[in-house]
Amino acid sequence: MYRYDEFDAQFVAERVEQFRGQVARRLSGELNEDQFKPLRLMNGLYLQLHAYMLRIAIPYGTLSSKQMRMLAHIARKYDKGFGHFTTRTNMQFHWIRLVDVPDVLADLASVEMHCIQTSGNCVRNVTADQFAGATPEEIEDPRPLAEIIRQWSSLHPEFVFLARKFKIAVGATPHDRAALQWHDMAVEIVRNGHGQVGYKVIAGGGMGRTPYIAHVMSEFVEREDILAYLEAVLRVYNMDSRRDNIHKQRIKILINSIGPEEMRRRVAREFDEIKQTGTLQLPPEELARIAAYFAPPSFEKLPDVMPTGDADFENWKKASIHAHRAPGYAIATISLKAVGETPGDISADQMDVIADMMDAFSVGEIRVTHEQNLVLPHVRQRDLPQIHARLKAIGLATPNAGLITDIICCPGLDYCDLANARSIPIAQKIARRFADLRRQHDIGELKIKISGCINACGHHHAGHIGILGVDKKGVEFYQLQLGGSGAEDASIGDIMGPGFGEHEIADAVERVVNHYLKVRRDGERFLDTYRRLGMEPFKNVAYQEQLNAAYNG
Amino acid sequence: MAHPPASGPQMLTANCLKQGDVVYWKKGGWVLEFAEGEVFANPADANAALAAAEKFVTGNRVVAPYLFEVRVENGKVRPVKEREIIRGAGPSVRTDTGKQADHV
């Protein structure tokens, strides 16, 4: 893992003390709320529905066991004993008191964590493939580049007051686990025709009110030029974006209004200028220095023998285990989607046990996924029965990763000040409805994603089945979308039609899924069947109950 | 957030600056419980309370005060919007947290 150098440590410590002073000045009245709000937001502190919420950055979703224990400590001491992993792979605490925040930040700084740039119109937490450094599919570990991007974009003087927030992700495999095409900008590590490793850069993806899939900016950027190229994209965005209309301020709007060709032209012009100055070249020795922090652990020489066990273990293995680059090792996903619980929530006690397991089984490291699960990246296959047993003891052995009950869900109106409708109870209801594991296996890969408002923190546009909560005269309604994808076959879900009531939406989802089971062809996922048949047949069954009521009423 | 003019009864709410707690206006001060908050039958009284609350903003006691609509049914006061019901009680999915936790 990356470790702070003396400058990082000093900077974060100074920032904590600055904020301590700012809080003191706010409490004494020296600063009013209008003056204080931008300062607290720069430190990830929001005022939400019930209390202050603190959002903690987890760069590229990587946590050490020490950091996990600190999150448990904060949950216990300053919050209500639990935290929430977000779709940006951050952690949120929902019950923080303003007076405690400086101490929380100091505790975080002691384990090389902070909340800087988890809010505001700046480059947000950089995310990456959760299987980084472990999957045999990747060209190289994407985290060194993600760390370099993090360093470059942290307090970048040109980019701390962008028109809107800006999200970057990095991947290195053809199988996209980081929703690259939905980002403001993303980098895919690729190999060109000559076998040379470089970077494909895409930009202009995004969810929210106006969803777009990203466009290719460059198929291949040389290693040493990557920061210059990314800076060129951000510079064009910063200069040319609409600052006069909040709904048109993201880079996706700029690119889709001037067209990707024109955007590429402007970026190329800027890129040439930056290159001529020669100030942003990435020296190979610097890349190597950062990459050394992410050097693979020394794997033991182990036989590739996957252990077997009872039905519980086999089911968990089927859903949670992925192939590892080293023989005798595996990647283990920990689902935070126990049926009936809040997706992404984890208690302080669970965090402590997980931290111990990270030390015992996975070189002290874990990953947070944008699907709100955790991943132990380097576990010995022979340890899997023990890992499963320990997870089961703390209620985290739900064998549903990648299945219909592994639902992405934002906090919604239960916590969020911006939300129009609750999303968590809908996720819980659907999960209970499909709790039967045999039925889940029969359905296969089906990703449900739920947002409580159009901001789309729950990624509903990218759900095979997406659900958007809306407010209709104070009453919660839920729109269904079908056919979205956040993977390498990215697509924007189609809106089905009028929304369903709180008590109708799970039934509608079930009718859609049952229809899929009836009409699917061999080997087809829900998404494949939808793409083959289109909306109409699914719409007909989803609204069947409403039609019956209309005829019979 | 924008709040359209209301014709029905209203209450006044804000967040405590130091703790972040949701608070409700009651006769020139603030209480933690929704049930103890003051209900304004007419807009003039509600707006007067909102104006009076400003001194608690400038005095750094609360932030972001606003009025919200309630309805009175069988003598019981209830917010019109789901948002305010949840704000007054706590998350509907964690009844062990928020104000509702004290009533379990």
**Where a domain ends, among A84, A109, A134?**
A109
Window A:233-272, CB contacts with B under 8 Å: none
CA distance linking residue A469 with residue A452, whole number of Å: 5
On the question of pLDDT at B4 being above 70, the answer is: no
Domain end, chosen from A88, A109, A130, is at A109
Residues of B in contact with A474 (CB under 8 A): 80-82
State the DSSP string of B32-96.
Answer: S-GGGS--BSSHHHHHHHHHHHHHHHHTTSEEEEEEEEEEEETTEEEESSHHHHHHHH--TT-TT
Per-residue pLDDT tens over the stretch A8-36: 999 999 999 999 999 999 999 999 999 99
A433 shares a domain with A530: yes
DSSP state of A136: T
Does residue A413 share a domain with residue A377?
no
- Assign residue A328 the CATH number of its domain: 3.30.70
A97 touches chain B (CB under 8 A): yes
B102 touching chain A per CB within 8 A? no
Contact call for B20 and A475, based on CB within 8 A: no
- Longest Cα–Cα distance of chain A, Å, equals 74
A301 occurs within a structural domain: no
Token output for A493: 């879900």
Same domain, residue pair A387 and A446: no
Q: Is residue A478 part of a domain?
A: yes
A540: phi then psi, degrees, rounded to nearest 5:
-60, -45
The amino acid at residue B68 is F
Q: Are A190 and A139 in contact (CB under 8 A)?
A: yes
Low-confidence ranges of chain A (pLDDT < 70): 551-553
Q: Is residue A114 part of a domain?
A: no
User: Cβ A474–B19 below 8 Å, yes or no?
Assistant: no
Long-range contacts of B56-59 (CB under 8 A, 24+ apart): B56/B14, B56/B30, B57/A33, B57/B14, B58/A29, B58/A32, B59/A29
In a shared domain, residues A346 and A414: no
Q: Please, are residues A464 and A520 in contact by the beta-carbon 8 Å criterion?
A: no
Strand, helix or coil at A449?
strand
**What value does the mean pLDDT of chain A take?**
96
Look at residue B104 and tell me whether its pLDDT is greater than 70: no
CB contact under 8 A, B97 and A80: yes
Measured between CB atoms, which of B20, B81, B82 is closest to A98? B20
Q: Per-residue b/e over B85-97, b at no fewer than 16 CB within 10 Å?
A: bbbbbbbbbbeeb
pLDDT digit string, tens, across residues A208-258: 999 999 999 999 999 999 999 999 999 999 999 989 998 999 999 999 999
For chain A, what is the domain count? 4
Contact B83 A476 (CB under 8 A): no
Same domain, A283 and A359: no
State the nearest Cα–Cα gap between B24 and chain A, in angstroms: 13
Do A340 and A478 lie in one domain? The reply is no
A195 DSSP 8-state letter: S
Average pLDDT in the B25-29 region? 97
| DSSP structure string for A61-130 | GEEEHHHHHHHHHHHHHHSSSEEEE-TTS-EEEEEE-GGGHHHHHHHHHTTT---TTSSSSSB---EE-T
Shared domain check, A444 and A516: yes
Q: Encode pLDDT of B44-83 as tens digits.
A: 999 999 999 999 999 999 999 999 999 998 889 999 999 9
Is A1 a domain residue?
no
Sign of CA dihedral A336, A340, A343, A346: negative
The backbone torsions φ and ψ at residue A173, rounded to the nearest 5 degrees and listed phi first, read: -135, 155
> Looking at residue A372, what DSSP letter applies?
S
A423 and A541 fall within a common domain: yes
Residues A223, A322 within the same domain: no
State which residue of chain A sits closest to B83, comparing Cα positions: A413
- Say whether pLDDT at B1 is over 60: no
Distance CA A335, CA A408 (A): 11
Q: Does A414 touch chain B (CB under 8 A)?
A: yes
A47-93 pLDDT per residue, tens: 999 999 999 999 999 999 999 999 999 999 999 999 999 999 999 99
Cβ contact, residue pair B18, A98, below 8 Å: yes
Distance CA A181, CA A179 (A): 6
CB atoms within 10 A of CB A387: 24
The residue range of the domain holding A376 is 311-393
